[in-house]
Amino acid sequence: MEFSIQLFIVLAVLFFGARKGGLALGLFGGIGVVVLVFGFGLAPGNPPIKVMLVMLAVISAGATLQASGGLDVMLQLAEKLLRKHPKYITILAPLTTTTLTFLCGTGHVVYTMLPIIYDISIKRGIRPERPMAASTIAAQMGIITSPVSVAVVSLVAMLSGHTMINGKELDLIQLLSITIPGTLCGVLLIGVWSMFRGKNLEDDPDFKEKIKDPEMKKYIYGENKTLLDQKLPQHQWNAMWVFLGAIAVVATLGAFPELRPVINGKALSMVYVIQMFMLAAGAIIFVIAKVKPAEIASNEVFKSGMVALIAVYGVAWMTKTMFGAHIGDIKEVLGGIVMQYPWAYAIVLILVSKLVNSQGAALAAMVPIALSIGVDPGVIAAFAAACYGYYILPTYPSDLAAISFDRSGTTKIGKYVINHSFILPGIIGVGTSSTIGFILAKLYGII
């Protein structure tokens, strides 16, 4: 009975915190810890300090890159590709946004691309919903592929020290060898499926009715949105190359442990490697691009990153406090189910992700519990893509942005809310990624 009451409190905190946004989610987590410790006498769990420090280093480097203008270089290159092949935008746009997320570690890069994707598609007579909904989903799917994303670095940090059935720890490269192919397959399938979704504009009665009004037609087709007319200075290119170079170094050291310093008889943990090189990259960009400190703390990458950090802090601490006190009972009830049906973990992870609206926070809440009840780290890695479940309801900022940027009205929330433009691309993408991830994990011999 006591467990049920505590579980209700945790779920209530997550529900109300998520409704107010990511920052509130972390703060509400603090209320949950207070109630559990002072109200029920539970021992407070340990906050995920290791995970938070890795996140902080990555956020700092990414925010410095954006402040330097290096992110604009990537976006400009992406636009060149899309405008060169407008006929295939429904496939190329989601591949582009997931690649940008892979490079930058955040799905928020999609905001700049959305008006460009809309402009190309509407001028080519392509239903904007097709590439825009696909691109928004693909941008978020790319998070679990990026060596500098909060979700990936958090997962690597949490699995550090836990061996798989092959006797080895899961490292960054092993994780990415699962998530990258799975995500690419999922994104490609979304693109192909999206080419045939909805009516063509010339056959859509709602659209044809709209453009009968000259003013509405002018609004729908609008002005060209482009980054191509901007000449970007050399320091922005330099900043981009420094950031990409740091990613390459981290990936190389992850692939070849013998290149890392040996500390107490073991190769230096990737948890420290990521922190060191991300901070160093941020410092180099800061100097060569003459970045103003105020511009780092005020940009989108820093703000969204810090929101994610606080959300992970509060949510992970609360769930660890609650579930840690009952781990024996949880293992007895759920352990056997997850062992027999590994996909049950994926389903729970998707639902938690929707509840907390954050991939990093979902992993921080679920992975320690999964490890505690005996779920193999290989299974956790296999279903890493399932940490993206907040496409279920169209409440995430990038989804709402896509709706607002699509002036044709084809990207929308349906009459019953759940039947919105993002639900089917999300199910197709995440379902495919998780399935491919499980198959690859089997082939690699880690499950």
pLDDT tens digit sequence for 354-404: 877 789 888 988 898 888 888 889 999 999 999 999 898 776 778 888 888
Mean per-residue pLDDT for 423-445?
Answer: 96
Mean of all residue pLDDT scores within the chain:
87
Task: Give me 148's structure tokens.
Answer: 């500098």
Whole-angstrom distance, CA of residue 132 vs CA of residue 153: 28
Write the DSSP symbol of residue 389: -
Long-range contacts of 43-46 (CB under 8 A, 24+ apart): 43/321, 43/324, 43/325, 44/317, 44/321, 45/317, 45/319, 45/320, 45/321, 45/324, 46/317, 46/320
Q: Are 101 and 139 in contact (CB under 8 A)?
A: yes
Block residue for tokens 């981009």: 240
Domain total for the chain? 1
What is the pLDDT, as a whole number, of residue 34?
Answer: 95
Q: Which amino acid is at 183?
A: T
The model's pLDDT over 239-284, given as tens digits with 9 standing for 90+, comes to 999 988 988 888 788 778 788 899 888 888 777 888 899 899 999 9
Q: Which residue has the higher pLDDT, 37 or 113?
A: 37
Q: Are 152 and 146 in contact (CB under 8 A)?
A: yes
Write the DSSP symbol of residue 195: T
What is the pLDDT, as a whole number, of residue 67?
Answer: 92
What is the pLDDT, as a whole number, of residue 189?
Answer: 97
> Do strands 266-267 and 262-263 pair parallel, antiparallel, or not at all (unpaired)?
antiparallel
pLDDT at 50 over 80: no
Residue 336: pLDDT band by 50, 70, 90 thresholds?
low
pLDDT at 37 over 80: yes
Q: Put residue 167 in one of left, alpha, beta given phi > 0 → left and psi -120 to 50 → alpha.
A: left
Q: Are 63 and 302 in contact (CB under 8 A)?
A: yes
The model's pLDDT over 148-167, given as tens digits with 9 standing for 90+, comes to 887 898 898 889 888 888 88
Mean per-residue pLDDT for 98-119?
Answer: 84
Q: Which amino acid is at 316?
A: A
What is the pLDDT, as a whole number, of residue 368?
Answer: 87
Write the DSSP symbol of residue 393: S
pLDDT at 331 over 80: no
**Secondary structure (3-state) at 82:** helix
Whole-angstrom distance, CA of residue 112 vs CA of residue 267: 40
Nearest to 270 by CA among 364, 372, 181, 174: 174
What is the pLDDT, as a whole number, of residue 419?
Answer: 83
pTM metric for this prediction: 0.77
Task: Give me 182's structure tokens.
Answer: 């799975």
The number of CA neighbours under 13 Å toward the Cβ of 367 is 30
Whole-angstrom distance, CA of residue 423 vs CA of residue 392: 6
Block residue for tokens 């949950």: 32
pLDDT at 310 over 90: no
Mean per-residue pLDDT for 420-434?
Answer: 95
Task: Give me 28's structure tokens.
Answer: 């509400």
Maximum CA extent, the chain:
74
Mean per-residue pLDDT for 67-88?
Answer: 88
Task: Give me 301's structure tokens.
Answer: 């990458």
Mean per-residue pLDDT for 69-74?
Answer: 86
Sequence-ordered list of residues with C-beta below 8 angstroms from that of 341, at least 6 positions apart, any chain: none
Mean per-residue pLDDT for 21-32?
Answer: 81
What is the pLDDT, as a whole number, of residue 334?
Answer: 63
Residue 21: pLDDT band by 50, 70, 90 thresholds?
low
The model's pLDDT over 192-232, given as tens digits with 9 standing for 90+, comes to 999 999 999 999 998 999 899 888 888 888 776 677 778 88
Q: What percent of the chain has pLDDT over 90?
A: 36
What is the pLDDT, as a whole number, of residue 304?
Answer: 72
As to burial, measured by CB atoms within 10 angstroms (0-12 exposed, 13-18 middle, 19+ buried), residue 357 is buried
In angstroms, the Cα distances linking 322 to 10, 40, 188, 280 are: 8, 10, 40, 37
Residue 285: pLDDT band by 50, 70, 90 thresholds?
very high
What is the pLDDT, as a whole number, of residue 171?
Answer: 84
Q: Which residues of 116-275 form beta strands (DSSP E)? A: 262-263, 266-267
What is the pLDDT, as a whole number, of residue 398?
Answer: 82
The number of CA neighbours under 13 Å toward the Cβ of 386 is 24
Whole-angstrom distance, CA of residue 271 vs CA of residue 312: 17
Whole-angstrom distance, CA of residue 430 vs CA of residue 161: 28
Domain boundaries, position 361: 2-444
Least confident of 7-11, 90-94, 179-183: 7-11
Whole-angstrom distance, CA of residue 7 vs CA of residue 442: 34
Whole-angstrom distance, CA of residue 147 vs CA of residue 144: 8
Q: Which amino acid is at 377?
A: P
Whole-angstrom distance, CA of residue 154 vs CA of residue 51: 5
